[in-house]
Amino acid sequence: MLRIDQLGKTLPTTPPRQLFASLCLQVAAGECVAIMGESGVGKSTLLNCVAGLEPVSAGSIRVGDAELVGLDDDALARLRRELFGFVFQAFHVLPHLSLLHNVAVPLWLQGVTGAEADRRALQMLDRVGLGDRASDWPRNLSGGELQRVAIARALVHRPAVVLADEPTGNLDPARASDILDLLLEQVREAGAAAILVTHSQAAANRAGRILELRADGLVPLATGAMR
Ligand SMILES: Nc1ncnc2c1ncn2[C@@H]1O[C@H](COP(=O)(O)OP(=O)(O)OP(=O)(O)O)[C@@H](O)[C@H]1O
Ligand SMILES: [Mg+2]
């Protein structure tokens, strides 16, 4: 489903700094791979590269049959909206939109609007246990509830690939565990290929595979609980 081949990223600093090179990773539909690694090693940059938000220096990124490296900005933006869902920190929820409309944003970007977008966003909010809060505002929600909104938004357009960068970074352990359950369940159900970047061993253990990003590439760490 997601196939990364010989990916390289050199930062345009003086002198140029190589973050990673010859990086290979395949993630199957319905699979979740955790990526750990020291702060500053390049995990977030890797996710941004995979999503086409940052240019790569070498290599190939394919989702299904589509090659993302080398596309022009318009084609990339179109594919990105269709193929990817992001779960970043809760703060990415838009404060001036209701929860329903926050979740509907990825649909709007694909041209699905109005009642149809509302219907699908509500269905997704229901799935994360917030259907009865659909018309509420982000400011009235707790951190854990906002993370659930972020998960609903990442999955509402049924993306092929889900990228999560520290999705439970600012939650207590019990809350983090619930959120991960929800994320992994939704990923499996949608048959998406997921990459979970985390500093938490407990969170990584929930993934099917754990890899460590190091200067010399992605190294397998252990086999987690999820299959
Ligand atoms: N455009 C850029 N120009 C210069 N340096 C950059 C750029 N983008 C990222 N970096 C540097 O690349 C390194 C990797 O950053 P990145 O955010 O990917 O790390 P990370 O592994 O996600 O760390 P953390 O665990 O702290 O989130 C950092 O040293 C950062 O300063
Ligand atoms: Mg990071």
Nearest 5 degrees, angle CA 6-CA 211-CA 184? 110
pLDDT at site 226 = 47
Residue 90: per-residue pLDDT: 54
Q: Is 11 in the pocket of ligand 1 (CB under 6 A)?
A: yes
Q: Which ligand is the nearest neighbour of the Cα of 38?
A: 1
Give 207's contacts (C-beta < 8 A, 6+ positions apart).
Answer: 32, 33, 34, 184, 194, 196, 224, 226
Predicted confidence at residue 227, as pLDDT, reads: 43
Pocket test for ligand 1, best of 17, 41, 211 (most atoms within 8 A of CB): 41
Which atom of ligand 1 is nearest the CA belonging to 37? 21
Q: Is 39 in the pocket of ligand 1 (CB under 6 A)?
A: yes
Atom 11 (ligand 1): residue with closest C-alpha? 40
- What domains can you pick out in the chain, each with its CATH number? 28-55+82-223 (3.40.50.300)
Residue nearest to atom 28 of ligand 1 (CA): 40
Ligand 1 centroid distance, CA of 45 (Å): 6
pLDDT value for 91: 61
Please list, in sequence order, all residues whose beta carbon lies within 8 angstroms of the beta carbon of residue 221, skipping any fewer than 6 positions away: 36, 204, 210, 211, 212
* Contact between 194 and 32 (Cβ < 8 Å): yes
Report pLDDT digits (tens) over 59-111: 999 999 999 999 999 999 999 999 999 988 656 889 999 999 999 999 999 99
Specify whether the CB–CB gap between 52 and 80 falls below 8 A.
yes
With a pLDDT cut of 90, the percent of the chain lying above it is: 73
Give the model's pLDDT for residue 159: 94
Q: Which regions in the chain score pLDDT beneath 50?
A: 224, 226-227
Its pTM stands at 0.90
The CA 132 to ligand 1 mean position distance, Å, reads 39
Residue 40 Cβ < 6 Å to ligand 1: yes
- Residue 43: CB within 6 Å of ligand 1? yes
Q: Which atom of ligand 1 is nearest to the CA of 54?
A: 1
